[in-house]
Amino acid sequence: MAQKLLFVCLGNICRSPAAENIMNHLLLKENLGDRFECDSAGTGGWHIGALPDSRMRSAAQARGLTFVGSARQFQAEDLQEFDLILAMDKDNYRNILALDKEGKFADKVKMMCDYCQTYSDKEVPDPYYGGADGFNYVIDLLFDACGGLLKTLK
């Protein structure tokens, strides 16, 4: 049975779909796609059904990657459904745990940047209100964190 990973940010159009797509890319590269199932969600529901942000898709395309998916909102059931839930920032982390009324799932909720190998960031910054540099930085940061996560999971 595949291990289920869920990447979570605020709106599910920038950071978490980038993490999901980068992780899937790394898994395919290592022929591990059958061992893991990746998804993403946002703690807010403003963008439900939307594609990843066009600026994030452009930054990915410049590296030869195509980001796919559509935004959905994080649900309390996700706590039970997924084996590992990765929050992009501390607000996302708190919002996820707020849905864990009985405190049963806290051990499976982690910070994405805890898996960084070279970057020292504690949170994945939200590039939404910035320029292209922010999207490129987030992709670099997530490649680092996803690489570390993959090492840990193997």
The set of catalytic residues is 9, 15, 126
Give the DSSP letter of residue 86: E
Query: Rounded CA gap, 48 and 98, in Å?
Result: 21
Alpha-carbon distance of 97 to 13, in angstroms, equals 21
Closest among 70, 52, 72, 48 to 60, alpha carbons compared: 52
